Amino acid sequence: MRDTNIKIVLIEPGPIPSKIRINSIPHFERWIDWRNSARRAQYETSLLKRLYEPSGKPDTFQLPASAVTAKILTALTVANPRARYYVTNATWISAISKRILPQRLLDWVMAKAKADNRFCLPHSKSNYAYREDPMRNDPLFYIVAAACLAVLVILMIGIGGFAKGGDFNKKHANRIMRLRIIAQAAAIVLILLFVWLRGRS
């Protein structure tokens, strides 16, 4: 599509309240024989509760559907839209984590976040429990973002020095590599701390 005027845009919403689970209940009851499933214990301990017993509390990082609408309107009205628009903090954290964390650690973080998440299953619009975007009120999020940005800057300096070569690369290549490892380790610790604290809130 690069040779056309059509631009491909991906909207990544994250936790947005909807009635998807409520609407899925009739299909679940019709097609899923959970009583004879090898996962019956898991259905009984968690899955059925999440489906039939809404907590009434918003998800961690949840934003209203209007937050998605705002991103869509932006993508449709600007001359050069971004390739991706992240709506909630959850999608920002996921995007950053994919670039920094090792794959197995990333899988653990995602599984931990999913296990600790709280799902909102409103039966009517009046039951929606929205919260403001916590990013503006959470200084740790800015610290995590700054740490990830520092890793990116150090990495770009190292790549630039390697590509250019010369005395700078000879003198500082190992130092930059060590600094990048330290910064990446710090960023990983901060991401894990942020996910853990958000799961407890």
Per-residue pLDDT in tens (0 to 9) along the chain, 201 residues: 788 889 999 999 988 988 888 899 999 999 999 999 999 999 999 889 888 887 667 777 889 999 999 999 999 999 999 999 999 988 888 888 888 778 888 887 777 766 655 433 333 333 334 444 555 567 887 888 888 888 889 988 988 888 888 888 888 889 888 998 998 889 888 888 887 777 666
Buried residues in 38-48 as b, exposed as e (16+ CB within 10 A): eeeeeeeeebe
Map tokens 């809404």 to a residue: 54
* Digit-coded pLDDT (tens) for 114-173: 665 543 333 333 333 444 455 556 788 788 888 888 888 998 898 888 888 888 888 888
* Residue 86: strand pairing partners: 12
Buried residues in 133-151 as b, exposed as e (16+ CB within 10 A): bbeeebeebeebbebbebb
The closest of 24, 25, 13 to 75, measured between CA atoms, is: 13
Buried residues in 172-183 as b, exposed as e (16+ CB within 10 A): eeeebeebbeeb
What pTM was computed for the model? 0.63
Average pLDDT taken over every residue of the chain: 82
